[in-house]
Amino acid sequence: MQITLQLRILLTFFMLWLAHFLSIENQELIGYVGIFVLGLMHGANDLAILKKINAPKNDENTRRELLSYVFWVFVGMAVMFFFPTWGLTLFIVTSGYHFGNQHWPLKNESRSPLLNGLFQTLYGLLILCILFLFHEKEVTRIIETITHVYLQNIPMLQITIYTGIALLLVGSILAYHIFTFRKQLAKNVGYLILFTIIFFQSGLIWGFTMYFILWHSLPSIQDQIQFLYQDENRKNWKKYIQSSSFYWGIAVLGSVVIYFGISNDTVFKAVFFSLIAAITFPHTLIITWMQNAIHNKSHKS
């Protein structure tokens, strides 16, 4: 069982076509269900990945890193609750790095890890900026609900342009020095064009659902299956789903309770993204450790 690039492109345009026959309310409902089913699943196996990373280590180190993971989940929740403006800013930057790291891995070109990380963050932030640009009013309302700060105007167009310029500058430096970086240019520029089409043609939640599930969660799950079981096939997909079912079930149950417990749509979106933020911080750390482990193994062999 493999989810190829061609299949994801086909599903993307099918969802764009399907949106013409669905009301905004139904788009959002299906979008939330999709994020709960696959989006949350791609982070539900973090502990199994952590255990695999720590396989050569002793149990004490494993427990320490497990406690660290849980600690950072609660730190994320606390920051989003007590310092929502800083928490939201950190969430957006962390998500930018996480998305960029997924699309444009640079672990084999680690001449300048900080420059690599900056480029990946800018690439992911540009994706988010494009999403926010086409849904500026709705995004503004959600930010106001999370931060309790009134925002008269967010210059999203200027922010998007400046992020794109910074991406070009850093990318030019990397492209000059790294041949394999240049080989990825056409593919990732194509992704940006595709994501722009998705966000322009879709509502906020529907567009985010397409991106988050088809272009982030599914490729991430495929990488995780390769790391955990060395091969992506139907049997290992089943193992992955079984392994994640407990934590995934808790996340889905909590999300459903929140969905039906909050009648205000904007408030629900604010709570929804705040919870995703709390999970994103440690999840990004785990995936980075996983990629480092993969890189170190391939480098040794």
Please state the domain extents for the chain.
5-300
**Residue partners of 280: CB distance under 8 A and separation at least 6:** 43, 76, 91, 94, 95, 98
DSSP letter at 39?
A: I
Do 273 and 146 meet the contact criterion of CB atoms below 8 Å apart? yes
The tens place of each residue's pLDDT in the chain, 301 residues long, gives 567 888 899 999 999 999 989 888 888 888 888 887 777 777 778 878 887 877 665 566 667 766 777 777 778 777 877 888 888 888 899 999 999 988 888 765 556 788 888 999 999 999 999 999 999 988 888 888 878 788 777 899 999 999 999 999 999 998 888 887 888 899 999 999 999 999 999 999 999 999 999 999 888 888 899 888 888 888 988 888 888 777 777 777 776 776 676 666 666 766 766 677 777 878 888 888 888 777 766 655 5
Amino acid letter at 250?
I
What one-character-per-residue DSSP string does 205-255 give? HHHHHIIIIIIIIHHHHHHHHHHHHSS-SHHHHHHHHHHHHHHHHHHHHHH
144-161-151 Cα angle (round to 5)? 15
Q: Which two tokens stand for residue 66?
A: 């497990």
DSSP-derived 3-state class of residue 27: helix
User: How high is the pLDDT of residue 122?
Assistant: 97
Return the pLDDT at 265.
Answer: 66
Q: What is the pLDDT of residue 46?
A: 83
Query: CA nearest 135: which of 269, 262, 22?
Result: 269
